[in-house]
Amino acid sequence: MNKTQIKIVIIGHLRHSLDFKKIKQNKSSFFEICQIETINNIPSSENDNGYLDITYSRKETENILNNVNFEGIVLGIMNYRFDDNFYMHRSGDNKLCLSIADIDILLLNNGISLENFILKNIYEIVVFKNALNDLTSDDIYNLIHQDTRMCLFDMNGDKYDVVYNTEKPIICDECKTFLNKKSLPENFIKTLEKELKKIKKPLLCTVEIFIKKYPLLSILLTVLSTIIINLISNGIWELLKKCLTNHCT
Ligand SMILES: [Zn+2]
């Protein structure tokens, strides 16, 4: 399978320090992140809605990314909202722009990393590229569905739903049927599902969340595991003593 080359372009200042090294090091059969760049000097928003926060239209992000040249796919990431409240738009033939505004708070409050959210969206883009060939195709709307099924192609019209499909997203039966009609490399869906399962919390974070959620059960498990470790240690000690006694006599 030919890997899709990805260039990430950070647009303006991101409120959070993202671990792009981790994103870049993600091993995938589908894509590789080749370059990460920043555009610091961004134009003022044309949106004159009277509010002080900055919002951009799809066209404005297209203009911002206009001078970025890259053969593969360009993914702009910004901490400003889109004026239509969606979080990802196509911003040119091979370009997309992802807004993490609002979503950052939703994810972080639920112990989900923004790095995983970015990875999940890259997978979605790469499937579009492989299945539809043309990122500008309206066939995209035949794959994305409005209802939330914890699927990679959930629309997330209500941004809160990203909480349900950022980690270990599935490919629902309807999306599998759609993809199976397309000309895709061998084992495409199988490999995709395998890699999507790896979009998850680090083990330490999972343990921390479990302790916060079930404090009494955590204490009980700690006590039980301490007793079991003690019993095993005593057993080993008794066995050693027995062996040493037999050896000496
Ligand atoms: Zn689906």
Query: Is the domain of 157 the same as that of 187?
Result: yes
In this prediction, residue 121 carries a pLDDT of 97
Considering the domain architecture, whether residues 68 and 18 belong to the same structural domain is answered as yes
Residue-level pLDDT at 45: 83
- Taking the C-alpha atoms of residue 98 and residue 87, their distance in angstroms, rounded to an integer, is 6
* Cα–ligand 1 centroid distance for 173 (angstroms): 7
Q: 145 CA distance to ligand 1 centroid (A)?
A: 6
Distance 181 CA to ligand 1 centre (A): 14
What is the rounded CA–CA span in Å between residue 101 and residue 56? Answer: 12
242 and 149: one domain? no
Residue 249 pLDDT: 66
For ligand 1, the distance from its centroid to the CA atom of residue 10, given in whole angstroms, is 29
Number of domains in the chain: 2
Task: State pTM to two decimals.
Answer: 0.83
Query: Do 136 and 233 sit in the same domain of this protein?
Result: no
Give the separation between CA 238 and CA 240, rounded to whole angstroms: 5
Which residue stretches of the chain have pLDDT < 70? 50-52, 203-206, 249
Q: What counts of helices (H) and strands (E) characterise the chain?
A: 10, 7
Q: Which domain holds residue 219?
A: 214-248
pLDDT score at 194: 97
| pLDDT score of 50 | 65
How far is the centre of ligand 1, averaged over its atoms, from the C-alpha of 21 (Å)?
A: 29
Indicate the residue type of 197: K
Query: 125 alpha carbon to ligand 1 midpoint, in Å?
Result: 14
